[in-house]
Structure 1
Amino acid sequence: MRKISMRQAINEALHIAFHSDPNVFSIGEDIAVYGGQLRCSYDLIDHFGEGRIMDTPISEQAIVGTAIGASMLGLRPIVEISYIDFIGVCFDQIMNQAAKLRYMYGGRVSLPLVIRTQGGAGLGNGAQHSQSLEALLAHIPGIRVVIPSNAYDAKGLLLRAVRDNNPVVFIEHKGLYKKRCEVPEEAYECDYTCDVKREGSDVTIVAYSSMVEQALKAAKELEKEGVEAEVIDVRCLEPFDADTILSSVKKTGRAVVAHEACKKGGFGAEIASVIQENVFDQLKKPVKRVGAPEVPVPFAPVLEKAYLPNEQNILEAVKSIL
């Protein structure tokens, strides 16, 4: 099977979505003529025209507010907020409008809205363009939070999100755009469930987004020492598939949860709590968490590298509970 990058997979999913439903349109800053800050929309305007691919003023409030109204009227907007760091500008629209309107109207309206945004560090983008803020969004009832770790899942999950009748925040890690893997040409959808990337019997490593690759590297190193690690990719933070994780931890008796976001208050704390509350009797050791330190993302390359959690941090966490 062909191998394509995550950037290409997302672009391909957008093409499929636009071809399959005339109600799909996209708005955002520099997504039309320029093709998006991260270039995922580089050719959409050539295929679908200015009526469906539209540049907006620099106003995240206007972008998300427009999409909310359009989705309530039956359209299916895919908007782009370049860099998750800027959700603070339109947080009222996301938190108090998109997340709550279906509930407040008693289910009489749907909001089939996708907000594509980019997070993550490692590219020297500085403190205001490198954050991992998925836990803020997962805390709000009423929105989906999807966070793929590879090109295959990015395509399938984006197509699933476009056909969802609920608002979805789709978080793409900037450092994964060039990562390639096997992706079918045809349309397909991925479920909002965890994916067991590697089976094992001694310890469960739970990760998502960029940390899945680091977890798999750690698992390979552990295998050399006779330790079989099971690696689980949490592809969707909301709805959260706890069953897959709990089933694995019941088997292994040990768990490490890893994410790039700051350890304090990160979604890993929620995962660890779910494990402790549901399979405490099966745990041989307390759940360990791996995350970034509680500081802004440094701009200096050496400091940024030191800031980012990695394979070695996961190995140390696993060995501490073996």
Structure 2
Amino acid sequence: MAMGFFLLTLFLLSFSLFSVSTQGGSSELSPYYYDKSCPKAMKIIAKVVKEAVHKEQRKAGALIRLHFHDCFVMGCDGSILLDTVGDMESEKEAPMNKGSMLGFEIIDQVKSEIEKACPGVFSCADIVAVAARDASVFSDGPGWKVKLGRKDSKISSIERATSDLPRPNSDVDELIARFKSNGLDETDMVALSGAHTIGKARCLTYRNRIYENSSYINPSFQKQRQNDCPVEPGQNDNFVEDLDLVTPKKFDNNYFKLLYHGLGLLTSDQALYLGGEGKTDKIVLNYAKNQRKFFRDFAKAMIKMGDIYDLTGSSGEIRKHCRKKN
């Protein structure tokens, strides 16, 4: 009888440990998570994103960036969508986000339509993840199977957003360290940076690149950018420039070709290629020569980034409205 009691106790302990370990985290995420509970959701997201991107191509880059900035702060939990309430100041107000993050209204529209189809089921965090994938596809970029099943955070942290997000003036060592802290290697970092092939940047984020003693910059490119972005901060701070000056509306590998010629707009862009002497120069050259490889690695890196997910048990929820907790 004692042996039977021991075995029963061991079984219950094992079950308890298993239950705790699978309450949250990427191990329980699956592309098929909503197949039964909300089968129409993927078509709804695709429809809204396609219409938004075709109306304003800039929104494609914005949606991918939204997912990136969400995942790098406390994991892919939709925390960036929350508005400031009381003592909780939103991540939207952090220096890297304020005035430059777009696409929130697209997520709101998707959420509204999904709630009509299957209320209280599909998380805002998952909407952001799927919308990023669809934004790539509708810009002629790669697609991938998005893992689903995330919960939404009940908090947003301006402090974490301020400290954790990569900065536009970062050098390659800073970038590598920032990505490594999120479980992403140098290949992931360069591949994900390739999303700038359809992005834009504000004058205030690249002013240091075109006026300071920047390494590896094309003189003609530098002079033209200075014409549009004056040296003194002021009314032109929010002037936006394409990160890819050649094919800004198409998701391709042209971004890496521009880096090779010293045409990276942000300091953090050009830091990836420094004339053959940089730590990630070989990766950039590979992507510049081989778009297929870039697409494959980008898709892998997006899936890997989507696994940055820390919510467990009751610490998350399925928000009814993406801008506020229930």
Q: TM-score, structure 2 length as denominator?
A: 0.25
More strand by share: 1
TM-score under structure 1 length normalisation: 0.25
Relative contact order (alpha carbons < 8 A, sep ≥ 6): 1 or 2 greater? 2
Greater helix content: 2
